Amino acid sequence: MAAHDESFAPVPVDRLDDDALHARLRAHGLTLSLVEARKVAVLLGRDPTLTELTLFDTMWSEHCSYKSSRPHLKKHLPTDGPNVVVGPVEDAGIIDFGGFGGRRWGIIFAHESHNHPSQVMPVEGAATGIGGIVRDVYCMGGEVIATLDPLRFGWPVDGPGEAGAAHRVDIARGVVTGIWEYGNALGVPNLGGDVYFHESFNENCLVNVVAVGLVDQAHITHSRVPKQAADEPYDLILVGKPTDWSGMGGAAFASADLDAAAAHENKGSVQTPDPFLKRILTVANRAALQRARDEGVEIGFKDLGAGGVACVTSELVDAGGFGCDVDLALVHQVTGLPARVCACSETQERYGLAVPARLTASILKVYNEDFALPTLYDGACARKIGTVTRERRYVLRLGDRIVCDAPVETITEGIRYDRVAVAPERREVPLDERLPEGPAAAIADEWLALMAHPNLCSREYVYRHYDGEVQANTILRPGEADAGVVAPLPGCRRAVALSADGNPLLGLADPWTGGAAAVLEACRNVACVGGEPSAVTDCLNFGNPENPHAFWQFSEAVRGVGDACRAVGLHAREGTPLPVVSGNVSLYNQSSSGRAVAPSPIVACVGIVPDYAHSRSQRFKAAGDIVLLLGRRRPETAGSVYLDAGFSAGRPAVPPLDFTAARREIRAVCDLVAAGLVTAAHDIGDGGLAACLAEMAIGLEGAGLLGADVRLPARDGVTTREFLFGEAGGFVLTVEPSRLEAAAGALAAAGVDWWRLGEVTSEPRLLAREADGAVAAEVGVRRLARVWQEALPGLLGGVAAVGAVPSPAGPQEEGEGSTPPRLNLARRPRVAVVQLPGVNCEDESARLLELAGARAEVFRWTRPASELAAFDGFLVPGGFSYQDRVRAGAVAARDPLLEVLLEESDHGKPVLGICNGCQVLVEAGLVPGLQPGRIEVALAANRNPGRRGYLSRWVALAAHPLARTPFVEGLRGTLPLPMAHAEGRFTHEDPAFFARLAASGHVALRYAPLGGRTDGNPNGSLLDTAALTNGRGNVLALMPHPERAALLRMVPEDLPHAWGERRRRAAGDAAALESAGPGAFLLQRLVELC
């Protein structure tokens, strides 16, 4: 502890005048108001210590106490429902997911913001945002199955005489980097989000994060001390990183206006992320929770976020009806830390547990010995730091010295304010008022320009940084559809659809509409993939609540969210509101200049998909399919991208929301998708009908080769521009001609307004006609795709899009004639999936190896290395082993387990290294193995003319004609697989070295063109190398992921390859979708070679 520690000193709040007290509070970095500081003294009946003031500063912050917002949340938001298992009372909400495998499952989800930290330190702020939200799911006893990241940034281009865009772009790039560096290393798929740019975010970016998880309802863990603590002693355990200065005062920092002049000082309030340690803690937590279940005891489990040790211990015991005695001397921490910092710092990667004293030693052993935390991270461990008491007092000490002693409920119950909300003066727009329109001949040019707008162009530049396929459960990825879809239970056809939405332009125009429209948009998105909207969570981002106008914006938006939730309701449960089961309020998103962000209610919706086999991508599927429009077009254009882009048309008011029509449309689309009547569905949102049709034509990565010929129906008082570019909600669907009658009957029965617009065409152009057949606008799909794809990389990356707009090409040969592995299913060889610290693909690799015919077992790094020799074959999975310190795979290559792999490979046993496993094998000298055990080649950072850094996408592989390895024997044509790496470029100081490797048969697989692209090399590897083998051919080091393509359902429906065509033909057929995919070839080959 610090030599001169003021933590114990009383602060004489009653004896100090206002100026002196204000100065004292600010000198210690506290944001308590004078009234609040004096109230602390009244509640305690004495002068508080500096530690107590620090604790109340955190617990009474807006971030923790919701002191301004709570009454409005309770008044407006429906939080209960027949499907709600846990509502907004804990770290995350849970809804019912139904039964499977003899268990009842739940979907967990939570929503948070990390706005101020991301503005000050974009990489660290965004990374710790992901780190914090996933902890909320883990603490409920679940596994995180997906994340979403709605992002809001300042305008990326300077106007005449302006400056600052470069800094705003740096923030955007830093945020994306922080999200991928943390989420990818943790092994959690990112399945969606959205990005908006607006000048109101110039000084305050918004970084919202959503985490979704799966839990066995019998194993839900609560963030409270169990009632059993009344009958037996319970201990408090702290697990994870040593407590340090990072994040000190973070909650208070997030609860005040952002002062750019204090940016340097504020950096200390941003936590330091460590996804490597989080990954270790994640797998260790599973074992600890299982240990408690095996003993038949209930424990309390909560993450350490705002307020650190003091917050987690006080909230755990108060929620259970107890008190506690915590000794800060027992907390593992860096040296020289004052007691108040030890108590309240928000150091990342920590958890708090409340366990029976008889189980304490066993739980400590899990972390400290079974998972060897102290050997993996300096100072990390699990320690007992206190005891639960029946007396409801919170006692915090350092040895014998008391730093806090108060009734626990005094600390946790928070404080309330009745804020004033005043509506600003607003002009009523006359019903007949219209903005002037340009000539009709300009509509096509406007359509083209609109698709390049920063708020409408492709988000591929962002989501290609994220790993959307880790865990091998993804059905629909970002860019494929309006919502991501994940099937988290192998063998179960039920799936989860996810979407997050919120238009800040609508929030500016009318906050109530902004809130309500965010709910409707999120629900429409999950409906497009067959998800029945089942619950939502909200993150409410607004300015300073002490400003009456800003607080009116907040209160109106909350009312809008609640009204829309009651209107949409639960599918097949008439009159039951759509529940809001979790959420977050982020206020004070305002700079010291007084500029606040656009009102930004962001809503995430979880939809339950009855059968993922019917979830389709939004791309047009076949020429001749019928194009249908659902939902009436409106003349209003306020809040639209069209007006924001500087174009002029429509009535300058927000489109009125028709809740009845929206509910009918959403339910009708859900039913049509579930019945298999829809080949593609896309909601009408940003950019209106014009953008909707363009995105359906362009498809994934701009690969769309189809167009549409549509006729705009006769309409009263709605101009062509209003019809095409207005953003009143609705849907565009495509159906096969043979199913049109059935679809029409279902729509009529649902009472939905719909029109037959036209049909999909084989020619890649969009043709919009007037009702009389006259051409209103015509634009080529390839031109649309080019501007749509190139805009965001040009703004944020300074480069062209990766392989933008491929040339026309038919499906690639998939190797239908490839010789399948000769499996002896009577003998199931034992294959070890080597779990090095930080890998994150071990579970799915083992599961899919089992399907390939092996008896797979995850072999943890703490087991004796000698036991590895008993296995018949080995798979080293992907991830970020040892945090890829020094360089990818370098530290892991020195693990004793690799020595055994080298020996066993010399005996002829097969070894397959995937992605990070490939990097490890290269660093350990198993490949190319000219001099076994020596590093002979390097895997360097990706280097592609169109992209730098981490890249996640599908690639095609072809066997090198001179390859000498049985791993690729019989492989003909190309094999499509997903890649996801930042350092996958095979290289050597002598480029001719790879030519010699190829000649000697060591280059096993090469990247090949995919979908008409002239260059299939995604990372700049020499000789397009994707995989190397050793001299015997029994070791394969491969960068792409075969386990993520082992089943047909894992293949993207829009993949420009024969495997994509096979995936499309299997739509609606769950059995076919569960059949072998392209990646099964290599997994089965590993099994065969054992």
SS3 1004: strand
Within 13 A of 292's CA, how many CA atoms are on the CB side? 24
Instruction: State the Cα–Cα distance between residues 134 and 136, nearest whole angstrom.
Output: 5
Strands 93-100 and 103-113: antiparallel
Instruction: State the Cα–Cα distance between residues 224 and 216, nearest whole angstrom.
Output: 19
**Catalytic residue (choose from 72, 114, 222, 682):** 114
Instruction: State the Cα–Cα distance between residues 374 and 381, nearest whole angstrom.
Output: 5
Instruction: State the Cα–Cα distance between residues 709 and 984, nearest whole angstrom.
Output: 43
Per-residue burial over 436-467, b = 16 or more CB atoms within 10 Å of its CB, e = otherwise: ebeeeeebbebbbebbbbbbbbbbbbbbbbbb
Task: Name the residue among 65, 396, 404, 390 with its Cα closest to residue 254.
Answer: 65
Run of H or E residues at 832: strand 830-835
Angle between helices 50-59 and 308-320 (to 10 degrees): 70
Active site residue 453: no
Cβ atoms of 1080 and 852 within 8 Å: the answer is: yes
Q: In what order do the strands lie in the sheet with 830-835?
A: 855-860, 830-835, 873-876, 911-914, 1035-1038, 1025-1029, 1003-1008, 951-959, 975-981
Question: Alpha helix (H) ranges present in 151-260?
Answer: 165-186, 250-253
Q: Could you say which DSSP state residue 739 is in?
A: G
Instruction: State the Cα–Cα distance between residues 394 and 309, nearest whole angstrom.
Output: 12
Task: Name the residue among 447, 364, 438, 947 with its Cα closest to residue 650.
Answer: 438
Instruction: State the Cα–Cα distance between residues 565 and 70, nearest whole angstrom.
Output: 18
- Burial (CB count within 10 angstroms: exposed 0-12, middle 13-18, buried 19+), residue 645: middle
Instruction: State the Cα–Cα distance between residues 681 and 739, nearest whole angstrom.
Output: 15
Instruction: State the Cα–Cα distance between residues 584 and 581, nearest whole angstrom.
Output: 11
Residues 6+ apart with CB under 8 A from 540: 69, 554, 557, 558, 583, 584, 585, 586, 600, 601, 602
Cβ atoms of 961 and 972 within 8 Å: the answer is: no
Give the other-Cβ count within 10 Å of 674's Cβ.
17
Instruction: State the Cα–Cα distance between residues 1046 and 1038, nearest whole angstrom.
Output: 15
Cβ atoms of 456 and 643 within 8 Å: the answer is: no
Question: Alpha helix (H) ranges present in 187-274?
Answer: 250-253, 263-266
What's the alpha-carbon Rg for the chain, to the nearest Å?
29
Instruction: State the Cα–Cα distance between residues 92 and 139, nearest whole angstrom.
Output: 9
Instruction: State the Cα–Cα distance between residues 523 and 564, nearest whole angstrom.
Output: 10
Active site residue 614: no
Cβ atoms of 696 and 682 within 8 Å: the answer is: yes
Q: In what order do the strands lie in the sheet with 484-486?
A: 474-476, 484-486, 495-501, 600-609, 532-541, 580-586
Residue type, 719: T
Report, as residue numbers or ranges, the catalytic residues: 63, 114
